[in-house]
Amino acid sequence: MQVPTLSFKPIVSELLGEAAFVYIAKARELERAGHRVISFGVGQPDIPTFQHIIEAAKRALDEKFTGYTETPGIRELREAIVEYLNSRYGTDVRPTEVIVTPGAKGAIFLALAAYLNPGDEVIVPEPSYPAYPEVTRFLGARPVFVPLKWLGPSGGFVLDVEAIEAAITSRTKAIVVNNPHNPTGALFTPSQVDRIYEIARERRLMLLVDEIYDNFIYDNQPFKSFLSFGDWRDYLLYVNGFSKTFSMTGWRLGYLVVREEVATKLTRLAVNVWSCPVSFAQKAAIEAIKGPWEPVREMIRLFQQRRDLIVRKLREVRGFEAWPSTGAFYVFPRIGRVLDEVGISVEEFVERLLYTKYVVTLPGTVFPDKAGREFIRLSFAVDSKLIEEGVERIKSFVESLYAR
Ligand SMILES: Cc1ncc(COP(=O)(O)O)c(C=O)c1O
């Protein structure tokens, strides 16, 4: 007979990990073996958390602000978040509608856990950040993948609104919208946002909206937040966080915005899972959100230059099709032509690139399900010298594939 510790729920062993973390581990191993790895893998700014935020955390620690806090986060932080969202998006969120969570991932988990029953369906435009479909599956519900539309290297990816509408069934509970988008670097236009919102209204569906990259917008493109709809309380599970904007990935701070009665109920789930977000990190987050914002703006300007550089370099690689991302800090070039011509899969391409040239990229297929099979993701939150060298290594790797 099996010992009890071996008979865990099957879904636990079926869950996919997050590839970015797998590749961090592989890269560390190669580095330990003495190789100089260049990583375009992980989704975090290469710039450390801004100093004024670090100082605020130090102050909080010196003041011994180290105990449990309120489960949805300290009031002062929720007020700061509300002030920020309301002034930025002209909305009317109240502090009682905000739950601060351990990372935006905590917010995604809470939101889905609150609404999904076994058998429910969640429409996930793909390629997709993996947490939405994985948590959905964990809860016994079903992700229904709807590919984004690829308009070619001049148009990039857009939401396929008609396909999303066509995928709705009587079991559909929610539609996921991540804007700006990981992994494609797309920024969905205000008119696409309007159309998706209209569908939610007409079909009475929830929208799990993740705007964690809302500060990473390039070329002064217009951005419409889903929070700017007057009746957002009826449709939105809104996720945002501190990880990307303030380069605070390791501080584990995100937040969920939902109508008050839902927030109250979810607070009961949160208290049973994590009690509260990290106390002194919350104090630092207040300083982050209050500013100064110049370091953030500076980072975005820098990232835009890096984006231009990486796209220019990738276009020099034989068989690659690359275009400038309008949001987030990823490029998602199509390498389908190379894969076809040399007869390998995208996973094999990425593995061999890693083990022969020590360059980390992510295969599009780890943003499940299949829509990314001709694409790779590269983060351009990477120093420009490393971008130059890393893409040179990719170029020579691709040449070696053709030379065989
Ligand atoms: C779209 C998206 N949502 C959420 C997260 C998770 O953020 P956090 O580190 O705050 O949990 C990420 C991180 O890569 C992301 O890309």
Q: What is the DSSP letter of 5?
A: G
Flag whether 55 is in a domain.
no
Does the CB atom of residue 241 touch ligand 1 within 6 A? yes
Flag whether 197 is in a domain.
yes
Q: How high is the pLDDT of residue 6?
A: 66
Flag whether 31 is in a domain.
yes
253 and 299 inside one domain: no
Flag whether 217 is in a domain.
yes
Query: Long-range pairs for 114-117 at CB < 8 Å and ≥24 separation?
Result: 114/237, 114/258, 114/262, 114/265, 114/266, 114/269, 115/173, 115/174, 115/206, 115/237, 116/140, 116/141, 116/173, 116/174, 117/141, 117/173
Residues 6+ apart with CB under 8 A from 271: 71
For residue 107, which atom of ligand 1 is closest to its CA?
A: 11
Interval between CA 337 and ligand 1 midpoint (Å): 30
134 and 261 inside one domain: yes
For residue 44, which atom of ligand 1 is closest to its CA?
A: 14
129 and 226 inside one domain: yes
Q: What is the pLDDT along the chain (404 residues), one digit of tens a residue?
A: 667 666 777 888 788 777 778 888 899 999 999 999 999 998 899 999 999 999 999 999 999 999 999 999 999 999 999 999 999 999 999 999 999 999 999 999 999 999 999 999 999 999 999 999 999 999 999 999 999 999 999 999 999 999 999 999 999 999 999 999 999 999 999 999 999 999 999 999 999 999 999 999 999 999 999 999 999 999 999 999 999 999 999 999 999 999 999 999 999 999 999 999 999 999 999 999 999 999 999 999 999 999 999 999 999 999 999 999 999 999 999 999 999 999 999 999 999 999 999 999 999 999 987 899 999 999 999 999 999 999 999 999 999 999 97
Last-in-domain residue among 290, 322, 351: 290
Interval between CA 179 and ligand 1 midpoint (Å): 12
Domains in the chain: how many in total? 2
233 and 285 inside one domain: yes
285 and 299 inside one domain: no
Last-in-domain residue among 290, 315, 335: 290
Flag whether 18 is in a domain.
yes
22 and 118 inside one domain: no
Structural domain that includes position 84: 67-290
Does the CB atom of residue 368 touch ligand 1 within 6 A? no
pTM score, two decimals? Answer: 0.96
Flag whether 299 is in a domain.
yes
Interval between CA 105 and ligand 1 midpoint (Å): 6
* Buried-exposed string 71-92: b where 16+ CB fall within 10 A, e elsewhere: bbbbeebbebbbebbeeebebe
